[in-house]
Amino acid sequence: MVHLDMSHCSGLTELPDSLGNLTHLQHLNLSGCFDVIALPQSLCGLTQLQYLNLSSCAYLEGLPEGIGSLVGIKYLNMSGCVHIRGLPESMMKLQSLWHLNLSRCRRMRRGSLACLRGLTALQHLDISHSRDSYHNDLLVDLPNLTNNLKYLSLSHCYTLRYFTSHHKDLLDDFITSLTDLEHLDLSHNYKLAYLPKSIGSLKRLHTLDLTYCSNLMCLPESICTLGLQSLLLDGCSDAVLDQASSLVHYSQTLPVFKVRVDDVNGCSNLHLLEGIHVSELRIRSLENVMSLEEANTPSVP
């Protein structure tokens, strides 16, 4: 057997030690097994395992100490494991792990991320919905993780409130360390007041999600040096949207589009949407168009 799906097995509180006899198992799905409290140590003998999904195992209290023996594991999803307070030190041995989801692991103790420093293959990391227990780890330990990280989600990351006002240098160092990053999700960080200038060093970044960063004061001008394909600004202030229009091409902020009067010729910019095909479109400040004639008037080159 190479694939075992036990997802959503309600009432299952523990797994048998005989699970370790499935030595050829590569894919194990335990997602939605809400009542599972612990995993057997025998799990650590599944050295062929590549995929382990523990998402929404809400009562799981921890991982086996020998988890580091799963040297072939590439995908580990622990999202919604709200009772887990720490990670075994042996996790730093998971040299093949490239996808790790720790979102909504809200009870992690301070220092929990330090064991991830050795994950040199890690490309996808989600630690969204984290709590204040991470506030030492987030910007101190993560820069030492890996230079190969391509996707990072810090959405709903309450600790960013603390760092944006007190540790700006740490935030700058943190950003500049992510040299291969392609997608950065900072959405729903309501207290995030600024982005560091160093974000301009992320030359491979194609998506920056600032959705509902409603207290963001401004964008660093270095954003214009990036090759962004998508700058998501839904829920941001009009001031940020206005600034974005001068720093990046309007197509990069779609599906959000702010209607405004061109500073040069006094015409509406609404005509820019002609020929644009998007699955959804959210228009801001349509009241800036005073008449149908104005909306139909193209800007003068």
Q: Of 15, 23, 30, 16, nearest to 49 (Cα)?
A: 23
pLDDT tens digit sequence for 263-297: 666 678 887 888 888 888 888 887 766 666 666 65
Residue 287 falls inside a structural domain: yes
Contact at 8 Å (CB) between 121 and 145? no
pLDDT tens digit sequence for 168-192: 666 677 777 788 999 999 999 988 8
Residue 41 falls inside a structural domain: no
Residue 16 falls inside a structural domain: no
Residue 58 falls inside a structural domain: yes
What's the sign of the alpha-carbon dihedral 257, 251, 222, 208? positive
Query: Any idea what the CATH number is for the domain that residue 61 is in?
Result: 3.80.10.10
Residue 280 falls inside a structural domain: yes
**Number of folded domains that form the chain:** 1
Domain that holds residue 288: 51-296
- Name 4's bridge partners: 28
Q: Which residue has the higher pLDDT, 287 or 98?
A: 98
Residue 58 pLDDT grade (very low, low, confident, very high; cuts 50, 70, 90): very high
Residue 261 falls inside a structural domain: yes
Is a pLDDT exceeding 90 seen at residue 6? yes
Residue 133 falls inside a structural domain: yes
Residue 198 falls inside a structural domain: yes
